[in-house]
Each structure stands twice: as structure tokens, then as C-alpha cells.
Chain A
Amino acid sequence: MKFGVVVFPGSNCDHDAWYAIRENLGEQAEFIWHDSTRLGDVDAVVLPGGFSYGDYLRCGAIAKFSPVMQAVKRFAADGGLVLGICNGFQILVEAGLLPGALVRNAALQFVCREVRLRTETTNTPFTAAASVGQVLRVPIAHGEGCYVADARTLDELEGEDRVVFRYVDNPNGSARDIAGVLNPARNVMGMMPHPERASDPLMGSSDGLLIFRSMVSAFAHA
């Protein structure tokens, strides 16, 4: 399986995702430059963490206009798997591929630490290899990771089983402890925690590999 890792000028977890996919997962990965209008022959897209275009404005507010995002939208509309991590999640929300918004952490500080994530659903191509209620240890590193949406949207996400992960100890004030959500078609997921940083036992946890492995098996069975 070939993963395309999108590179915005300010992406800084692009190499980490690339490395985790190739070295820890054992699949193919290639970089896609932000001004590309085509994604090439990739089977899934990862929008990595970082600061897309500096993000001095709202995170991801400029990235949504980038040429590559138009291609990502088409890819998603055709049912392709898209995983947005951290800044990637912020971009997916800004681009309208996922509902809600990510605002400054409740404590108004950047926070880097390992969190525990409860798997809320396995009815997704991103968590099929997990079990419901399974707790994953995955790091976060963000200043604007507080997930917000109006009550109706939140009810809808829950009603449609589109909340994929919740924080066991909410680190940023996210509504209803939400750490990751799906689009209605269930092929686009955004999450603030970094599974690529939890893909190697040497880094303290390899729980994040479960997400990448789920994507591989979903693709194989598609």
C-alpha cells in the first residue's frame, strides 16, 4: 500500500509520518508537495502535523486554499482514505471535510505529553484492528487542539458513531473529550494526537501503529 504524505512548507511531522509508515509499518510512502494539483497513484493520504503556512492566522486557514487540498477533496469524495494528524486535522476542519473547529487549548498553552485515548468505535477503516473501549497511549503536541462544535453537531457525531477517539484525561478542554472524528462517509478521519510518534516501542509506545494497520487492512479488503 502506498501512503502519500502531504508536505506544506511548514509541515514538521511529515518526515515522522513517512518514517513510521516505511520503517515501523513496512509500507510505501511518498511526499506530495503542497502546490501539486494531483496526488499521483497513492492509496491513502496523510496530512501531517506542523504549521502549514506558519498558521499565524487561524491554523489551517490558508492551507485550505492550497492546490493540494483541492486534490485531497476530490480524493476524499471518491472514497479515498484521508488521515489528518494534528495540523492535518485542523486543515481538514478548515477545508470543510470534517465538522467543528479546533481552538486554543483551555489552559492557553501548548502542551506536549502522552495521553490515553479510548477507542469509541471500530466501525472505521482507521480503527478496525482495535476493539471498542481499547485504550491507546499516544502523544499530543499542540497549542490549538480544543475541539468545539455546536450541540447539534456533537449530537450528530455521536448519533452517527463518528467520534472515533475520546481523551481519558481531557488535556485541552475539547467538547465531550473528543480527540478524533470521522466524516459522514467514514473515509476521512482527523485526530489531534500523533499516532506516528507512537509507532516504535523505542519511542515509548507503538499503539499508534494500530491506526495505520487498520488502514492497510481496510485498503486490502476494499
Chain B
Amino acid sequence: MTTLSPELIASHQLTEPEYNKIVEILGREPSYTELGIFSVMWSEHCSYKSSRLHLKKLPTRGRYVVQGPGENAGIVEIGGGYVAAFKIESHNHPSFIEPFQGAATGVGGILRDIFTMGARPIAVMDALRFGPLDDAANGARNRRILEGVVSGIAHYGNCFGVPTVGGECVFEACYNGNPLVNVFALGVAKGDEIFYAKAAGVGNPVIYVGAKTGRDGIHGASMASAEFTEESKQKRPNVQVGDPFLEKLLLEACLEAMQTGAIVGIQDMGAAGLTCSTCEMGSRGGTGIEIELDRVPQRETGMTAYEIMLSESQERMLLVAEKGREEEVFRVFRKWGLDAVTVGQVTGDGLLRVRHHGEIVAEIPNQPLADSAPLYDRPHTQPLRSAPMRAPAFSSRDLTRDLERLLGSSDICSKRWIWQQYDYQVRTNTLAGPAAADAAILRVKETGAALAMALDGNARYCYLEPREGTKLLVAECCRNLAVVGADPVGATNNLNFGNPERPEIMAQLVESIEGMADACRFFEVPITGGNVSLYNETLGEGIWPTPVVGVVGLLKGGPPVGMHFPRAGLAVMLIGGLGKCDAVHFGGTQYAKAVLGELWGLPPELDLDHEKRVQTCVREITQTGVAESAHDISDGGLAVALAECSFGAPGIGAVIDFDSGMPPELLLFHEGPSRVLVATAEPEKVQEIAAGHGVEALRIGTTAEGQLTIRNRGTALIRAEVEALRKIFEGALENKLRD
């Protein structure tokens, strides 16, 4: 065996102690192929070596949880003998290098995670972050990245046949050199037909199915585990190319093959490809796996063992079948026109043994390779922040104009230009799609029930105070479900942070995870899996801490409660009251950002106990059918929420009267949580329910045709035509993209 130079080892992003551990595990120096295998398995992306210690703090068990973290996706029971499998995953680095394919393969990867568990994907949502579209230096590039990412998601999801039912999209300068693409997917399966990624049964064949292996995506996982530098642009070949049609064939073939009963275990080949799928399946099953690379279908000639093992070619799966029943599996894959080849077998020695051209090129114990990656307790100090604590002096000259500016701002404006490119209806389950209700709602035809999905992040809050900011976003996500009448049953998280080797960044991560753990425990939503994306830095500039949470809830099937006022003459109720806010807690609002161009202070204050009572109350209001519309107050505060309620098809606005001593900017635009707007014909009933939960339910006005008028103690604060506001709200994004 050739001796590996220190430079070669360093170029695999392995430290000296890590390399020494490899030598210790093997009892010898690794071969070049083995070095590659260890480098991807022990990369941050695959091993979570910086975050694992802290991820353990998250609650993962709950009444509905069938499968928590550690599998391809989390699984929760949804009644009627069915389960939902869901997870979120990031494809940030590839989407910066090649937006279209990066985002497309991000969708493809998470869809495979879902159907490898036996679940048919029924919905996708996306959390997107870009640099500002009008940024002087980077605007043109940011627009190009946004357009590429959106069309990549559309290309893959639409062809595959999964509806993209919503999401969120936020713009901040910190994403100029590092956009975020997080894809949240959900599927449904029968409870007794779940498949796991375990290799069991010595002698059982290991079968490779799907696309042929090429040289694309080699070291993708390692690329995602380092900061971006000028040279990163040369890493374009590391980005994979997606084929959604092939993925659709793979989906149908896998689900059909699972029905034969001949499949023992199955895992998709995602990050770290053949390497990861073989050693993880072996490790979970406590078995060994022996594969022969000459049998792997290849689309290029002359590929080395190193390249085949590390390729991240898309649309491939590895499965273990019952010995003697291979033909049943092959028959299904032939029907769908896909390659299916026995490439090896399960062994009893616990080793990953790889042969190529008659020689053993790698022989590594599965368990330490998959599970004994180094674990770091990285030093953490105070979370990085440079924003001042004190508020600047501000006083509005025209509050209606301020509202217009907010409605036309990138974060708040309609994202129709984005979601209209997604097929959000295919499979005819979408009861509430993009911008229809606070959560997306999907019926489950098999059970007659419905599922709600919400996805939230708020990096502004998290930058100011990671712990509280993360609690706030978990609360908002759960509130979104409560608003549509759903009970949260499980959650998935995507932790997008900068370089964990910097103690002030590591502190953001630690505090955020701890805040998430507290809030998830409080709202009884276990985290069943997720993804950590670190090193989101370009040229030393890190992103703001951007944890994103997706929550899944259960509700009765039937017509959903939307966010839009359906008709004039209804009472507008503010559940949870006007809330409180001072200048310091106003610094993270959209008003501070879009109107004042500032960031300061702290995120809004959250009283978890009050929040929970508001959620329980709103859930009951929605479930009893007294709400004709419901919408929570979040970005942009009360005035923006009222405007959003007005943008339904009939253009019904409202006339609102407050009685408050708060400064008008704060009254209209503060983002204090635990507040929901409800339109109802039965205000007394709403008040009665609220009283039962000890929650304030203010009757603040009446829905009215065509106008939005807001007064405080008789003084008009806002006076606008709904259609004029709508024009600003609907046209803003397209105008910015046209520039």
C-alpha cells in the first residue's frame, strides 16, 4: 500500500487526530479508497461531529412517534392504521454553486429519504434564503440564484408529481454569498409497511437499483462541510445533476417491489453515495457488507474504486433482499425500465469489504465507520452579534405609507411569482396550498383525515438572541397549526449556521438548540429527525443563525379555515390581545428592517404559558367551526396581518378601532407573539371559548367591502383601498426581479 502524504490527508479535511483514529480502527494505514470513505463518512455533513453532542438535548419521543432520529426520515402515527414520514434537508452549498441543479437535487434527495421508508411523498415545502434582490453589488447574482433555485425546485417536484404546497422566502445581506435551500418533504404509508435501512440476514443479496454511477458529486458531502472560498466556484463538478423522471420511476418501482415482501432493508444513496448506504445499513443491522464494484452499473468508463464509492450520482438506491427471491425484485425494476443488479451480499463479519478488479480495495469495520466518527465539544462563548441594544429615535409621518412599504418589501410581499411555478395540486390532496391558510393542509384519502404542515424560521430574531429567537419560531410554527385547527404531532429541524470552529458561532448553535429543546418540550412536539448545515460562510462572512422548523399536525378532513376574510359584516376578533412591546423589543421587526433600515435590541418577548393557552383556544375556535377565517400575527405585526386577511378573492377589508396607549408604530407593527385574528359571525361564542382558556379576545372591528381602515381612539392611523394595497403586495416581487 502506498503511503499517504500529510497533504493528501489534509485535502480530505481530516485532522491529524482523526487520521490517527482511522489507523487505530484499521490497525494499519488506510488505502487511498479507504481514506476517501472515511473522509466523507466523518465529514460534518454525514457525521454531525460538531452538533451531535447538543442535538441529544432535543426531545425525540412522543405519543405519536414511531421512528425518531437516526433513520432516513422520522415517522409519526396519523390514525386509521397509517403513518406519516417526514424530514427536512438542506442543499445550501450546491444551490450557490449551481442554483438550478443544486435545488433540484435537493428536492430529489429528500424525496428518496421519504420513499425509501415505504411512504409515498404527498407534499413538499421549501424554506429559502437569498441575498437582497436590490443589493448594489450582488443584486443581479441574487436574482439569478433565486430564479435558478425556484425553477430547479419546480422542475424536479412538478415532474416527479409531488405538490409543493408552501414555504417561506426571506432576503438578508448575510445570504449574499450563501443562499439557503431547505426542503421539507412528507409522505404517507401504511403503519405495518414501513421499511428500514438495515442490512440483515447473512447471505442475503445486496442489490443496486436506479441510475448508473458517474463521476458527478464526488466529495459533495465534504464540500458541504467547509467554508466557501474563491476556489469553490471550481467545485461545480461536485454538484449532481437531477433526473426527476428517473426518480419517479424509482419511486414507483421501489413501492411496488416493497409489496412483493422480498425486501429486507433499503436505503437511498444520497450524500456519500454507495459508501454511506453500505456502511450505514451494515452498522444498523450489526452485519457486514461485501460488494463487488465491477458489478455496479456505470455510465463512464475507467472509474476508480475511489470514484465509484464516493460518487453522489442521483436517483440510486441500495436494497437487501431475501436470498432466493431476487427475481421478484428484478421483475418489478424491469417493468419500470431500471437497472437492478446484485452487487454483493450481507456477511456476518461486520466489515465493509469492497472489491474491484479482483482485489480488495477497502476493508473497514462498519460500526466504527458509521457511528464512531469523532465527537467534538467545540468551545462556545457569547453568540456573535454587533447590533446595538438601544433603539434609535423614530416617528412615522405617514402610517399608511409605512404599511405600503411593508407590503411591498421582499420579505412580506406576495410570493406568488415563486409558488405559481410549483404544481401545488397534483395528487388532488391540497385542501389549502400556498398563501391560502396559515398552514398547508393535505387530505389523506386513505383515512379521511387531514395533515397540516408549517415551516418557519426567523434569523433576525435568532441573530439578536438565538435562544429566544428559536423559541419564537417553534411557537409560531405550532401557532400556525393551531390556527387551522390542527394538533402538532411531530417536527423536523434544519439548523443552518456558520463555522462551528468559531466559538461565537458555536454559541449561536448551542443556544439555538437549547431554545428549540425547551420550546419543543413545552409544546410537546418531538423532533423526529432533521439536518444540520454548518460552515455556511463565504470569504469569512457567516450567515445569521438560521434554524428552520417544520411541524406536522393532524386535523379532521373537510373544508379548511383560510386566512382571508370571506365576507363583509363579520366581527374581527383579536385573540390574545394587543400584546406588549417596547422600543428595545421592536428592533427585530420588519418595520425596523423595511421602514427604518435598522436592526437593534431584542426579539419580541414570548410568554410560553400564554402562547400555549392562545393556541389551545384558537384550535378550539377553529375546530368548533365558529371562525370563518383565521390568521396569526407575525412578520409586520397587526396592520400587515389585517392587510393579508383582506387579500382574498372578494377583497374584503375591515374597519378597526383600537383603544390603546401604545405609540402608533408599535401598536400597528410590533411582532409580539401569541396573537391571532379571527373573523366570525358569533363573537360571543368566540369570547366564551377564550374566557374558558383565560385568553383575551378583543372585538376590534368589522369586516368591510374594499377598504382597510384602522383607527385608535378615534384618530385614523391607516386608511387604504384593499385593491391599492393588493397591487403593491402582489406586484412587488416581480418588479424587483425585472430590475
Residue positions of A touching B, CB distance < 8 A: 9-10, 12-13, 15-16, 19-20, 49-51, 53-56, 109-113, 139, 141, 143, 194, 196-197, 199-203
Contact = CB atoms under 8 A, between A and B. Distances in A.
Contact of B421 (A15, A110, A199): A110
Interface string B158-198: 11110000000000000000000000000000000000000
Which 7 pairs between the two chains have the least Cβ-Cβ distance?
A: A12-B161, A54-B245, A141-B423, A16-B428, A51-B159, A110-B421, A112-B423
Nearest to B248: A10
17 contacts: A9-B249, A12-B159, A12-B248, A13-B161, A16-B427, A19-B428, A51-B244, A51-B245, A56-B245, A109-B420, A110-B423, A111-B421, A112-B421, A112-B423, A139-B425, A141-B426, A197-B428
Contacts of A143: 158
B414 to A, nearest CB: 13
Contacts of B445: 19
Interface of B: 151, 154, 158-161, 243-246, 248-249, 252, 336-337, 419-428, 430-431, 443, 445, 557-559
A196 B426 CA distance: 10
Most chain A CB inside 10 Å of its own CB: which residue of B160, B419, B425, B558 = B425
A202 B337 contact: no
Contacts of A109: 151, 420-421
B426 A12 contact: yes
Nearest to A111: B420
A57 B736 CA distance: 33
B431 A202 contact: yes
A110 B158 contact: yes
Contacts of B426: 12-13, 16, 49, 141
B733 to A, nearest CB: 13
Contacts of B160: 12
Nearest to B164: A112
Contacts of A10: 159, 245, 248-249
B428 A112 contact: no
Contacts of B151: 109-110
Given A112-B420, A113-B420, A197 B425 contact: yes
A55 B248 CA distance: 13
A113 B159 CA distance: 17
A113 B420 CA distance: 7
A37 to B, nearest CB: 16
Given A15-B427, A16-B427, A196-B428, 6 more contacts: A9-B249, A51-B244, A55-B245, A111-B420, A197-B428, A202-B557
A19 B337 CA distance: 26
A141 B154 contact: no
Contacts of B421: 109-112
Given A56-B245, A113-B420, A203 B427 contact: no
Contacts of B557: 202
Contacts of A200: 428
A88 B199 CA distance: 42
Contacts of B245: 9-10, 51, 53-56
Nearest to B419: A112
A85 to B, nearest CB: 12
A48 to B, nearest CB: 11
Contacts of A53: 245
Nearest to B417: A109
A9 to B, nearest CB: 6
B428 A9 contact: no
Given A19-B445, A50-B161, A112 B249 contact: no
A61 to B, nearest CB: 14
Contact of B425 (A50, A54, A111, A203): A203
Contacts of B246: 54
B68 to A, nearest CB: 31
A189 to B, nearest CB: 21
Nearest to B252: A9
Most chain A CB inside 10 Å of its own CB: which residue of B151, B420, B430, B445 = B420
A197 B430 CA distance: 10
A110 B431 contact: no
A141 B425 CA distance: 8
B547 to A, nearest CB: 30
A203 B430 contact: yes
Nearest to A33: B335
A29 B158 CA distance: 24
A111 B428 CA distance: 17
Most chain B CB inside 10 Å of its own CB: which residue of A112, A199, A201 = A112
Contact of B159 (A20, A54, A199): A54
A203 B428 contact: yes
A20 B151 CA distance: 29
Contacts of B428: 16, 19-20, 196-197, 199-200, 203
A218 B315 CA distance: 45
Contacts of B424: 112
A197 B161 CA distance: 14
A147 B677 CA distance: 44
B339 to A, nearest CB: 15
A201 to B, nearest CB: 8
Contacts of B559: 201-202
Contacts of B443: 202
Nearest to A199: B428
B239 to A, nearest CB: 19
Contacts of A51: 159, 244-245, 248
B243 to A, nearest CB: 8
A146 to B, nearest CB: 16
Nearest to A13: B426
A118 B445 CA distance: 31
Contacts of B420: 109, 111-113
A196 B419 CA distance: 21
A38 to B, nearest CB: 18
B337 A9 contact: yes
Contacts of A201: 559
A200 B425 CA distance: 13
B431 A203 contact: yes
Contacts of A110: 151, 154, 158, 421-423
B452 to A, nearest CB: 15
A201 B557 CA distance: 13
Most chain B CB inside 10 Å of its own CB: which residue of A16, A55, A110 = A110
A197 B558 CA distance: 16
A79 to B, nearest CB: 30
A143 B159 CA distance: 11
